[in-house]
Chain A
Amino acid sequence: MQRSWLRFWSVTAALAAAIPAAASGVELEVVPLRGEPAWSPYLVGAAIGVLSMLTFYFSDKPIGVSTAYARVAGMLGKLLAPRHTESLEYFKETRPVVEWEVMVLAGVLVGAFFAASGGGQLTGEWLPPLWEVRFGADSHWLRIATAFGGGALMAFGARLAGGCTSGHGISGTLQLSVGSWVAVACFFLGGMAVAMPLFR
Protein backbone atom coordinates (compact mmCIF):
# COMPACT_ATOMS: atom_id res chain seq x y z
CA MET A 1 0.00 0.00 0.00
CA GLN A 2 2.72 2.49 0.99
CA ARG A 3 4.88 1.64 -2.01
CA SER A 4 1.99 2.03 -4.43
CA TRP A 5 1.24 5.44 -2.96
CA LEU A 6 4.81 6.55 -3.44
CA ARG A 7 4.57 5.39 -7.04
CA PHE A 8 1.26 7.15 -7.55
CA TRP A 9 2.52 10.50 -6.30
CA SER A 10 5.86 10.32 -8.09
CA VAL A 11 4.11 9.63 -11.41
CA THR A 12 1.61 12.41 -10.69
CA ALA A 13 4.39 14.88 -9.89
CA ALA A 14 6.40 13.90 -12.96
CA LEU A 15 3.38 14.41 -15.22
CA ALA A 16 2.47 17.69 -13.58
CA ALA A 17 5.94 18.90 -14.50
CA ALA A 18 6.24 17.22 -17.90
CA ILE A 19 2.95 18.13 -19.56
CA PRO A 20 3.20 21.95 -19.23
CA ALA A 21 6.87 21.71 -20.23
CA ALA A 22 5.94 19.74 -23.35
CA ALA A 23 3.13 22.18 -24.07
CA SER A 24 5.37 25.21 -23.86
CA GLY A 25 7.62 23.53 -26.39
CA VAL A 26 4.71 22.88 -28.74
CA GLU A 27 2.95 26.22 -28.44
CA LEU A 28 4.82 29.42 -29.13
CA GLU A 29 1.96 31.74 -28.17
CA VAL A 30 2.58 33.21 -24.73
CA VAL A 31 -0.86 34.65 -24.07
CA PRO A 32 -3.47 32.57 -25.89
CA LEU A 33 -6.35 34.43 -27.48
CA ARG A 34 -9.60 33.87 -25.66
CA GLY A 35 -11.54 31.31 -27.65
CA GLU A 36 -8.45 29.68 -29.10
CA PRO A 37 -7.44 26.46 -27.31
CA ALA A 38 -4.33 27.09 -25.25
CA TRP A 39 -2.69 23.77 -26.09
CA SER A 40 -2.49 21.60 -29.18
CA PRO A 41 -5.44 19.16 -29.41
CA TYR A 42 -3.02 16.31 -30.17
CA LEU A 43 -1.01 16.98 -27.02
CA VAL A 44 -4.16 17.26 -24.89
CA GLY A 45 -5.57 14.07 -26.42
CA ALA A 46 -2.33 12.16 -25.91
CA ALA A 47 -2.20 13.36 -22.29
CA ILE A 48 -5.78 12.17 -21.74
CA GLY A 49 -4.68 8.81 -23.16
CA VAL A 50 -1.82 8.68 -20.64
CA LEU A 51 -4.26 9.71 -17.90
CA SER A 52 -6.46 6.75 -18.87
CA MET A 53 -3.48 4.43 -18.47
CA LEU A 54 -2.90 5.87 -14.99
CA THR A 55 -6.53 5.48 -13.88
CA PHE A 56 -6.49 1.83 -15.05
CA TYR A 57 -3.20 1.20 -13.26
CA PHE A 58 -3.77 3.00 -9.97
CA SER A 59 -7.56 3.05 -9.53
CA ASP A 60 -8.54 0.02 -11.66
CA LYS A 61 -11.13 2.26 -13.33
CA PRO A 62 -11.78 3.73 -16.76
CA ILE A 63 -12.38 7.49 -16.91
CA GLY A 64 -16.09 8.27 -16.90
CA VAL A 65 -18.24 11.14 -15.71
CA SER A 66 -21.95 10.64 -16.34
CA THR A 67 -22.60 8.03 -13.62
CA ALA A 68 -21.43 10.63 -11.09
CA TYR A 69 -24.47 12.78 -11.95
CA ALA A 70 -26.71 9.76 -11.33
CA ARG A 71 -25.12 9.18 -7.92
CA VAL A 72 -25.60 12.86 -7.04
CA ALA A 73 -29.23 12.58 -8.21
CA GLY A 74 -29.64 9.55 -5.94
CA MET A 75 -28.13 11.40 -2.99
CA LEU A 76 -30.51 14.35 -3.49
CA GLY A 77 -33.37 11.89 -3.97
CA LYS A 78 -32.54 10.23 -0.67
CA LEU A 79 -32.82 13.61 1.04
CA LEU A 80 -36.14 14.53 -0.57
CA ALA A 81 -37.88 11.15 -1.00
CA PRO A 82 -35.80 8.52 0.79
CA ARG A 83 -38.16 5.56 0.53
CA HIS A 84 -39.07 6.11 -3.11
CA THR A 85 -35.42 6.59 -4.08
CA GLU A 86 -34.40 3.41 -2.27
CA SER A 87 -37.12 1.51 -4.13
CA LEU A 88 -35.78 2.39 -7.60
CA GLU A 89 -33.99 -0.45 -9.34
CA TYR A 90 -31.23 1.76 -10.73
CA PHE A 91 -30.04 2.96 -7.32
CA LYS A 92 -29.82 -0.61 -6.05
CA GLU A 93 -27.05 -1.28 -8.56
CA THR A 94 -25.55 2.21 -8.61
CA ARG A 95 -25.44 3.24 -4.96
CA PRO A 96 -25.93 6.97 -4.34
CA VAL A 97 -22.61 7.51 -2.57
CA VAL A 98 -19.54 9.69 -3.08
CA GLU A 99 -17.07 7.32 -4.72
CA TRP A 100 -14.22 7.58 -7.26
CA GLU A 101 -16.24 8.94 -10.16
CA VAL A 102 -18.05 11.61 -8.12
CA MET A 103 -14.63 12.83 -7.02
CA VAL A 104 -13.49 12.85 -10.67
CA LEU A 105 -16.46 15.10 -11.50
CA ALA A 106 -15.58 17.47 -8.64
CA GLY A 107 -11.95 17.42 -9.75
CA VAL A 108 -12.86 18.34 -13.34
CA LEU A 109 -14.49 21.53 -12.07
CA VAL A 110 -11.44 22.43 -9.99
CA GLY A 111 -8.91 21.47 -12.67
CA ALA A 112 -10.65 23.53 -15.35
CA PHE A 113 -10.72 26.49 -12.98
CA PHE A 114 -6.96 26.18 -12.40
CA ALA A 115 -6.29 25.90 -16.12
CA ALA A 116 -8.51 28.85 -17.05
CA SER A 117 -7.34 31.18 -14.30
CA GLY A 118 -3.69 30.29 -14.88
CA GLY A 119 -4.03 30.85 -18.62
CA GLY A 120 -6.08 34.05 -18.42
CA GLN A 121 -9.12 32.32 -19.96
CA LEU A 122 -11.73 32.71 -17.24
CA THR A 123 -14.90 33.59 -19.14
CA GLY A 124 -17.47 34.70 -16.54
CA GLU A 125 -20.26 34.78 -19.11
CA TRP A 126 -23.88 33.69 -19.40
CA LEU A 127 -24.09 33.42 -23.17
CA PRO A 128 -21.47 31.70 -25.33
CA PRO A 129 -20.45 33.88 -28.33
CA LEU A 130 -21.97 31.56 -30.98
CA TRP A 131 -25.27 31.39 -29.07
CA GLU A 132 -25.39 35.18 -28.65
CA VAL A 133 -24.92 35.78 -32.38
CA ARG A 134 -27.77 33.40 -33.17
CA PHE A 135 -30.27 34.09 -30.38
CA GLY A 136 -29.45 37.64 -29.25
CA ALA A 137 -27.90 39.24 -26.19
CA ASP A 138 -31.12 39.08 -24.15
CA SER A 139 -31.75 35.33 -24.56
CA HIS A 140 -30.70 34.36 -21.01
CA TRP A 141 -33.87 32.49 -20.10
CA LEU A 142 -33.93 30.63 -23.39
CA ARG A 143 -30.30 29.67 -22.81
CA ILE A 144 -30.98 28.47 -19.26
CA ALA A 145 -33.98 26.41 -20.37
CA THR A 146 -32.09 24.90 -23.32
CA ALA A 147 -29.05 24.08 -21.21
CA PHE A 148 -31.22 22.44 -18.53
CA GLY A 149 -33.40 20.52 -20.98
CA GLY A 150 -30.40 19.48 -23.02
CA GLY A 151 -28.61 18.33 -19.88
CA ALA A 152 -31.62 16.24 -18.85
CA LEU A 153 -31.89 14.57 -22.27
CA MET A 154 -28.15 13.94 -22.25
CA ALA A 155 -28.27 12.22 -18.87
CA PHE A 156 -31.24 10.09 -19.90
CA GLY A 157 -29.46 9.12 -23.11
CA ALA A 158 -26.19 8.42 -21.34
CA ARG A 159 -27.86 6.15 -18.78
CA LEU A 160 -29.67 4.25 -21.51
CA ALA A 161 -26.59 4.01 -23.74
CA GLY A 162 -24.36 3.10 -20.78
CA GLY A 163 -21.99 6.06 -20.83
CA CYS A 164 -21.16 9.50 -22.16
CA THR A 165 -18.49 11.14 -24.30
CA SER A 166 -15.91 10.10 -21.68
CA GLY A 167 -17.09 6.64 -20.66
CA HIS A 168 -18.06 5.47 -24.15
CA GLY A 169 -16.32 8.12 -26.27
CA ILE A 170 -12.85 7.64 -24.82
CA SER A 171 -12.69 4.75 -22.32
CA GLY A 172 -15.01 2.35 -24.16
CA THR A 173 -13.70 3.04 -27.64
CA LEU A 174 -10.07 2.69 -26.59
CA GLN A 175 -10.91 -0.79 -25.22
CA LEU A 176 -12.43 -1.59 -28.62
CA SER A 177 -15.94 -2.10 -27.20
CA VAL A 178 -18.31 -2.47 -30.15
CA GLY A 179 -21.19 -0.80 -28.27
CA SER A 180 -19.02 2.22 -27.46
CA TRP A 181 -18.14 2.86 -31.11
CA VAL A 182 -21.84 2.53 -32.01
CA ALA A 183 -22.86 4.87 -29.16
CA VAL A 184 -20.29 7.55 -29.95
CA ALA A 185 -21.33 7.55 -33.63
CA CYS A 186 -24.93 8.07 -32.47
CA PHE A 187 -23.87 10.88 -30.07
CA PHE A 188 -22.49 12.86 -32.99
CA LEU A 189 -25.24 11.88 -35.48
CA GLY A 190 -27.99 12.92 -33.03
CA GLY A 191 -26.07 16.10 -32.23
CA MET A 192 -25.58 17.05 -35.88
CA ALA A 193 -29.26 16.43 -36.65
CA VAL A 194 -30.18 19.13 -34.11
CA ALA A 195 -27.22 21.52 -34.33
CA MET A 196 -27.27 21.96 -38.11
CA PRO A 197 -30.90 23.12 -38.49
CA LEU A 198 -30.47 25.23 -35.33
CA PHE A 199 -27.45 27.18 -36.50
CA ARG A 200 -27.41 27.00 -40.29
Chain B
Amino acid sequence: MAETQSKQQQSNQRLQGLVFGIAFGFLLQKGGVAQYDILLGSLLLEDFTVFKVMLSAILVGMTGIFTMHHFGWVKLHPKPTQLGANIIGGLVFGVGFALSGYCPGTGAAAVGQGNYDALFAMFGLVAGSYLYAEVSGFMSRTVGTWGDWGKLMISDIVPAPRPVVIASVAALIGVVLVLLDRM
Protein backbone atom coordinates (compact mmCIF):
# COMPACT_ATOMS: atom_id res chain seq x y z
CA MET B 1 0.00 0.00 0.00
CA ALA B 2 2.88 2.32 0.85
CA GLU B 3 4.09 2.02 -2.73
CA THR B 4 0.81 3.25 -4.19
CA GLN B 5 0.79 6.41 -2.07
CA SER B 6 2.05 9.60 -3.60
CA LYS B 7 5.04 11.45 -2.14
CA GLN B 8 2.65 14.08 -0.81
CA GLN B 9 0.48 11.52 0.97
CA GLN B 10 3.54 9.84 2.45
CA SER B 11 4.87 13.05 3.93
CA ASN B 12 1.40 13.97 5.22
CA GLN B 13 1.22 10.56 6.86
CA ARG B 14 4.64 11.03 8.45
CA LEU B 15 3.70 14.45 9.78
CA GLN B 16 0.52 13.03 11.30
CA GLY B 17 2.60 10.27 12.91
CA LEU B 18 4.86 12.88 14.46
CA VAL B 19 1.93 14.92 15.83
CA PHE B 20 0.18 11.84 17.24
CA GLY B 21 3.50 10.59 18.66
CA ILE B 22 4.13 13.89 20.44
CA ALA B 23 0.64 13.74 21.97
CA PHE B 24 1.16 10.10 23.00
CA GLY B 25 4.55 10.78 24.60
CA PHE B 26 3.18 13.85 26.35
CA LEU B 27 0.34 11.80 27.85
CA LEU B 28 2.58 8.89 28.87
CA GLN B 29 4.85 11.28 30.77
CA LYS B 30 1.98 13.15 32.44
CA GLY B 31 0.45 9.83 33.47
CA GLY B 32 3.68 8.82 35.21
CA VAL B 33 3.98 5.63 33.15
CA ALA B 34 7.39 6.65 31.79
CA GLN B 35 8.78 6.04 35.30
CA TYR B 36 10.65 2.82 36.05
CA ASP B 37 9.31 2.76 39.62
CA ILE B 38 5.69 3.00 38.48
CA LEU B 39 6.10 0.40 35.71
CA LEU B 40 7.86 -2.04 38.07
CA GLY B 41 5.24 -1.20 40.67
CA SER B 42 2.61 -2.65 38.37
CA LEU B 43 4.53 -5.94 38.08
CA LEU B 44 4.98 -6.04 41.87
CA LEU B 45 1.25 -5.33 42.27
CA GLU B 46 2.10 -2.31 44.42
CA ASP B 47 1.11 0.49 42.04
CA PHE B 48 -1.93 0.32 39.80
CA THR B 49 -1.34 3.44 37.69
CA VAL B 50 -0.44 1.40 34.59
CA PHE B 51 -3.63 -0.68 34.81
CA LYS B 52 -5.76 2.43 35.36
CA VAL B 53 -4.25 4.17 32.32
CA MET B 54 -4.55 1.11 30.07
CA LEU B 55 -8.09 0.18 31.08
CA SER B 56 -9.34 3.77 30.73
CA ALA B 57 -7.75 3.95 27.28
CA ILE B 58 -9.38 0.66 26.25
CA LEU B 59 -12.77 1.75 27.61
CA VAL B 60 -12.82 5.07 25.75
CA GLY B 61 -11.05 3.84 22.62
CA MET B 62 -13.23 0.73 22.26
CA THR B 63 -16.49 2.64 22.65
CA GLY B 64 -15.36 5.46 20.37
CA ILE B 65 -13.80 3.39 17.60
CA PHE B 66 -16.65 0.87 17.34
CA THR B 67 -19.12 3.76 17.26
CA MET B 68 -17.16 5.45 14.47
CA HIS B 69 -16.93 2.10 12.69
CA HIS B 70 -20.70 1.71 12.95
CA PHE B 71 -21.11 4.97 11.02
CA GLY B 72 -18.52 3.88 8.47
CA TRP B 73 -16.00 6.56 9.43
CA VAL B 74 -13.10 4.24 10.23
CA LYS B 75 -11.80 0.82 9.26
CA LEU B 76 -10.98 -1.73 11.95
CA HIS B 77 -7.49 -3.22 12.19
CA PRO B 78 -7.90 -6.23 14.49
CA LYS B 79 -4.71 -8.09 15.36
CA PRO B 80 -4.34 -11.69 14.17
CA THR B 81 -4.66 -14.30 16.90
CA GLN B 82 -1.77 -16.80 16.85
CA LEU B 83 -2.15 -18.41 20.22
CA GLY B 84 1.30 -20.06 20.37
CA ALA B 85 3.11 -16.90 19.30
CA ASN B 86 0.91 -14.67 21.48
CA ILE B 87 1.64 -16.77 24.59
CA ILE B 88 5.35 -17.52 24.07
CA GLY B 89 6.13 -14.07 22.66
CA GLY B 90 4.05 -12.47 25.39
CA LEU B 91 5.93 -14.26 28.17
CA VAL B 92 9.33 -13.42 26.63
CA PHE B 93 8.20 -9.81 26.32
CA GLY B 94 7.15 -9.82 29.99
CA VAL B 95 10.56 -11.08 31.12
CA GLY B 96 12.24 -8.32 29.10
CA PHE B 97 9.77 -5.77 30.43
CA ALA B 98 10.64 -6.66 34.05
CA LEU B 99 14.40 -6.57 33.37
CA SER B 100 14.48 -3.32 31.42
CA GLY B 101 11.73 -1.70 33.48
CA TYR B 102 10.26 0.01 30.43
CA CYS B 103 8.16 -1.05 27.47
CA PRO B 104 8.84 0.06 23.87
CA GLY B 105 6.67 3.19 24.06
CA THR B 106 7.25 4.15 27.68
CA GLY B 107 11.00 3.55 27.24
CA ALA B 108 11.13 6.23 24.54
CA ALA B 109 9.07 8.50 26.81
CA ALA B 110 11.51 7.79 29.66
CA VAL B 111 14.43 8.88 27.46
CA GLY B 112 12.54 12.07 26.63
CA GLN B 113 12.02 12.73 30.32
CA GLY B 114 15.73 12.28 31.05
CA ASN B 115 16.25 8.66 32.17
CA TYR B 116 19.56 7.68 30.56
CA ASP B 117 19.18 3.97 31.33
CA ALA B 118 16.11 3.84 29.07
CA LEU B 119 18.35 4.74 26.13
CA PHE B 120 20.01 1.33 26.50
CA ALA B 121 16.63 -0.33 26.59
CA MET B 122 15.96 1.38 23.24
CA PHE B 123 19.29 0.10 21.85
CA GLY B 124 18.35 -3.36 23.10
CA LEU B 125 14.97 -3.09 21.38
CA VAL B 126 16.69 -2.38 18.06
CA ALA B 127 19.13 -5.26 18.56
CA GLY B 128 16.41 -7.69 19.59
CA SER B 129 14.31 -6.74 16.57
CA TYR B 130 17.17 -7.59 14.23
CA LEU B 131 17.72 -10.85 16.08
CA TYR B 132 14.07 -11.74 15.50
CA ALA B 133 14.37 -10.84 11.82
CA GLU B 134 17.23 -13.37 11.59
CA VAL B 135 14.90 -16.19 12.64
CA SER B 136 11.62 -14.74 11.37
CA GLY B 137 11.21 -17.34 8.62
CA PHE B 138 11.71 -20.24 11.02
CA MET B 139 9.42 -18.67 13.64
CA SER B 140 6.54 -18.04 11.26
CA ARG B 141 6.77 -21.63 9.92
CA THR B 142 6.75 -23.15 13.42
CA VAL B 143 5.39 -21.13 16.38
CA GLY B 144 3.35 -18.93 14.05
CA THR B 145 1.24 -21.88 12.95
CA TRP B 146 0.35 -23.06 16.48
CA GLY B 147 -3.20 -22.03 17.23
CA ASP B 148 -3.41 -19.71 14.22
CA TRP B 149 -7.01 -18.51 14.45
CA GLY B 150 -6.81 -15.46 12.19
CA LYS B 151 -8.32 -12.09 13.02
CA LEU B 152 -10.56 -13.45 15.73
CA MET B 153 -12.51 -11.01 17.89
CA ILE B 154 -14.20 -11.62 21.24
CA SER B 155 -17.48 -10.77 19.52
CA ASP B 156 -16.89 -13.72 17.14
CA ILE B 157 -16.72 -16.32 19.91
CA VAL B 158 -19.38 -14.93 22.25
CA PRO B 159 -22.90 -15.73 21.00
CA ALA B 160 -24.22 -12.18 21.38
CA PRO B 161 -24.54 -9.17 19.08
CA ARG B 162 -21.43 -7.00 18.92
CA PRO B 163 -22.94 -3.97 20.71
CA VAL B 164 -23.91 -6.22 23.63
CA VAL B 165 -20.37 -7.61 23.80
CA ILE B 166 -18.90 -4.10 23.73
CA ALA B 167 -21.27 -2.88 26.45
CA SER B 168 -20.45 -5.93 28.60
CA VAL B 169 -16.69 -5.49 28.21
CA ALA B 170 -17.10 -1.77 29.00
CA ALA B 171 -19.12 -2.57 32.13
CA LEU B 172 -16.54 -5.14 33.22
CA ILE B 173 -13.71 -2.65 32.76
CA GLY B 174 -15.74 -0.08 34.71
CA VAL B 175 -16.12 -2.49 37.63
CA VAL B 176 -12.39 -3.32 37.61
CA LEU B 177 -11.51 0.41 37.55
CA VAL B 178 -13.77 1.09 40.55
CA LEU B 179 -12.16 -1.80 42.44
CA LEU B 180 -8.64 -0.62 41.53
CA ASP B 181 -9.51 2.89 42.70
CA ARG B 182 -10.39 1.53 46.15
CA MET B 183 -7.12 -0.39 46.58
Do A and B actually bind?
A: yes
Chain A 68-90 per-residue mask, 1 if CB under 8 angstroms from chain B, else 0: 11101110110000000100111
Please measure, in the bound complex, the distance between the C-alpha atom of A19 and the C-alpha atom of B24, giving whole angstroms. 12
Tell whether, in the assembled complex, residue A112 and residue B101 are in contact, meaning their CB atoms are under 8 Å apart.
no
**Chain A interface size range:** 35 or more
Tell whether, in the assembled complex, residue B113 and residue A156 are in contact, meaning their CB atoms are under 8 Å apart.
no
Which residues on the A side are within 8 Å of B75 (C-beta)? 56, 60
Tell whether, in the assembled complex, residue A130 and residue B37 are in contact, meaning their CB atoms are under 8 Å apart.
yes
Which residues on the A side are within 8 Å of B18 (C-beta)? 103-104, 106-107, 110
Would you list which residues of chain B between 1 and 33 have a CB under 8 Å from chain A?
2, 10, 12-33
Tell whether, in the assembled complex, residue A162 and residue B86 are in contact, meaning their CB atoms are under 8 Å apart.
yes
Is residue B77 within 8 Å, beta carbon to beta carbon, of the partner chain?
yes
Tell whether, in the assembled complex, residue A123 and residue B64 are in contact, meaning their CB atoms are under 8 Å apart.
no
Q: How far is the CB of B1 from chain A (nearest CB, A)?
A: 10
Please measure, in the bound complex, the distance between the C-alpha atom of A157 and the C-alpha atom of B81, giving whole angstroms. 15
Would you list which residues of chain A between 121 and 167 have a CB under 8 Å from chain B?
121-131, 143-144, 146-167
The residue in chain B whose Cβ has the minimal distance to the Cβ of A158 is B93
Q: Among B95, B98, B121, B127, which residue has the most Cβ atoms of chain A within 10 A?
A: B98
Q: How far is the CB of A44 from chain B (nearest CB, A)?
A: 3
Given the known interface contacts A147-B101, A174-B65, A190-B94, the answer about A57 and B127 at a Cβ–Cβ threshold of 8 Å is no
Given the known interface contacts A111-B22, A151-B125, the answer about A193 and B77 at a Cβ–Cβ threshold of 8 Å is no
Is residue A29 within 8 Å, beta carbon to beta carbon, of the partner chain?
no
Tell whether, in the assembled complex, residue B68 and residue A56 are in contact, meaning their CB atoms are under 8 Å apart.
yes
Tell whether, in the assembled complex, residue A125 and residue B109 are in contact, meaning their CB atoms are under 8 Å apart.
no
Tell whether, in the assembled complex, residue A151 and residue B80 are in contact, meaning their CB atoms are under 8 Å apart.
no
Q: How far is the CB of A85 from chain B (nearest CB, A)?
A: 8
Q: Which of B35, B112, B117 contacts A108 (CB 8 A)?
A: B112
Q: Among A23, A179, A199, which residue has the most Cβ atoms of chain B within 10 A?
A: A179
Is residue B139 within 8 Å, beta carbon to beta carbon, of the partner chain?
yes
Tell whether, in the assembled complex, residue A44 and residue B31 are in contact, meaning their CB atoms are under 8 Å apart.
yes
Q: Which of A8, A36, A154 contacts B103 (CB 8 A)?
A: A154
Given the known interface contacts A49-B58, A49-B59, A154-B104, the answer about A69 and B88 at a Cβ–Cβ threshold of 8 Å is no
A residues touching B (Cβ–Cβ < 8 Å)? 1, 5, 8, 12, 15-16, 19, 23, 35-39, 41-63, 65-66, 68-70, 72-74, 76-77, 85, 88-91, 95, 97-116, 119, 121-131, 143-144, 146-196, 198-200
Can you list 17 contacts pairing A with B, beta carbon distance less than 8 Å? A38-B29, A46-B57, A49-B63, A50-B61, A62-B77, A100-B17, A104-B18, A107-B17, A111-B112, A127-B117, A150-B99, A155-B124, A156-B96, A161-B92, A172-B79, A179-B149, A187-B97
